[in-house]
Structure 1
Amino acid sequence: MIDKKFATIASFFIPGLGQALLGNIKRGAIFFAIGVVIWLLLMKLSTRIPFSGIISLLYGVYAAYDTYNIVN
């Protein structure tokens, strides 16, 4: 059994990983795909979007929050 705290932290750093570790593979894949799209867009538009890193941070927090809600 995967530790709930570990899954939540893992999902913060790699969105979708926590969901997948907890057995929700489809949800994890969706979160990961969205994270990749966000990352690619921000890499392309980073010079035009100020504070683009905050967007990635907020998505990581949301992914961790979602994992936490799956656990509880």
Structure 2
Amino acid sequence: MKLSKVAGCEFDNCPVVYLSDAGMAVVQGFPVRAADGLELGVGEIAVEVPPEIVLASVEALQGAKK
């Protein structure tokens, strides 16, 4: 799998959103293991990222489609 950084910090150890060569979003963030309302399925994990990174990634992806 090849990833392209869409939004996030410039380092490898902080929240980032990537786009995979299969067209899927890949999110790197801080692990969330338990929270009210969180129900993870087998093999799933949850990560926490700042909202501005999510918004920046959506803007970048929309710009790439134009």
TM-score normalised by L of structure 1? 0.32
* Larger strand share, 1 or 2: 2
Task: Indicate the structure whose relative CO is greater, using CA pairs within 8 Å and at least 6 residues apart.
Answer: 1
